[in-house]
Amino acid sequence: MTELKNDRFLRALMRQPVDRTPIWMMRQAGRYLPEYRATRAQAGSFLDLCKNAELACEVTMQPLRRYPMDAAILFSDILTVPDALGLGLYFEEGEGPRFCKTVRSEEDLAALNDIKAADDLSYVMNAVSTIRRELNGAVPLIGFSGSPWTLATYMVEGGSSKDFRRIKAMAYDQPQLMHALLALLADAVADYLTEQVKAGAQALQIFDTWGGSLSAAGYKEFSLKYMQRIIARLPNEHEGRPVPVIVFTKGGGQWLPAIAGCGAQAVGIDWTTDIALAREQVGDRVALQGNMDPAMLYASPARIREEVAGILAGFGHGTGHVFNLGHGITPEVNPDHVTAFVDAVQELSPQYHQG
């Protein structure tokens, strides 16, 4: 077992003392980097890139060569599980992910494949172990999955949706079918994330991208409940240290006290939530991750630095903060502005961790 040279990220997630606030970015391996676009072209397609362990490793490492990030995140996609279940994932240019089949009836549900992550998603585990070996203890590796509700939205709608009409109709009118699908997905995701830990992931994030589309009661019934089910089944530690879990519900700031009780060590917040208020609401129950508006990276370096200073001041003194964007970085961002962002966190955060 290679010793971890920089465990600042893991320590902050466990609310242990750190010398400065750790930083990483959602979608840090991505289209804003010219070297990513070159590797993506080499792979032939996005899915081929995900399924090639060496190339997935290469794009995971690319942002770490440019920026002193405190964590790497596995390069993959949240829709790998529905794809393995037999829905036939493909991507249309400008349209995003699509599925050849959908789940809209009991018959559709019964037709899904029985999957074992170690076998049916072995390409993801190969990528995890390859990346972990390449990192050689430099920083921790984050594994991830979509939440059951978020995965179900794509499976029922057949792709992206603006109004979630079909899945909400199922949730409200056929709750038994909805719960059966969500339970199946929760168990598949728990297995998937457990295998990622065995392959070398040192922290996990559950991306609940569409949880914020639900009502307050709907969120607790159809999203949070199933993330709790996953977390309860995950390994608490591996290789002699804890494996912290981050739950990120985009648009979920109004439910922070409930999310803080789900069993995760950290809660990700988007840019619509004030981080000072978030800390006040969760107290010392969980760490917080976030939450600069990704669009701020289009501003000048001076304005980015000003925003970083405000967020750090909002969280205040003490540990339990992982700096991140409030959602993924967008493709048109100038990589030099990311440099300004990371530098600002590194330079301005130590004052909040002294004494």
Distance CA 284, CA 321 (A): 11
91: confidence class by pLDDT, cuts 50, 70, 90? confident
Other Cβ atoms within 10 Å of 77 Cβ, number: 17
Token pair for residue 235?
A: 């390994």
Question: 207-248: per-residue pLDDT in tens?
Answer: 999 999 999 999 999 999 999 999 999 999 999 999 999 999
**CA distances from residue 75 to 125, 242, 308 in whole angstroms, order as listed:** 11, 22, 26
354: confidence class by pLDDT, cuts 50, 70, 90? confident
Determine whether the annotation assigns residue 20 to a binding site: no
**CA distances from residue 113 to 82, 142, 159 in whole angstroms, order as listed:** 9, 27, 19
Is residue 226 among the annotated active site residues?
Answer: no
Determine whether the annotation assigns residue 37 to a binding site: no
Residue from 318, 244, 227, 304 nearest 276 by CA: 318
Is residue 108 among the annotated active site residues?
Answer: no
Determine whether the annotation assigns residue 295 to a binding site: no
Other Cβ atoms within 10 Å of 218 Cβ, number: 16
Is residue 77 among the annotated active site residues?
Answer: yes
- The catalytic position among 8, 11, 20, 40 is 40
User: 110, exposed or middle or buried, with CB in 10 Å at 0-12, 13-18, 19+?
Assistant: exposed
Is residue 31 among the annotated active site residues?
Answer: yes
User: Taking CA 289 as the corner, what is the angle to CA 236 and CA 287, rounded to the nearest 5 degrees?
Assistant: 50
Determine whether the annotation assigns residue 233 to a binding site: no
* pLDDT (average), residues 17-24: 98
User: Which of the following CATH numbers is that of domain 8-353: 3.20.20.210, 1.10.3720.10, 3.40.190.10, 3.10.110.10?
Assistant: 3.20.20.210
- The catalytic position among 31, 37, 166, 233 is 31
Question: 250-284: per-residue pLDDT in tens?
Answer: 999 999 999 999 999 999 999 999 999 999 999 99
Is residue 8 among the annotated active site residues?
Answer: no
Determine whether the annotation assigns residue 290 to a binding site: no
* CB 82, CB 99: distance < 8 Å: yes
Residue 1 has pLDDT above 70, yes or no: no
Determine whether the annotation assigns residue 77 to a binding site: yes
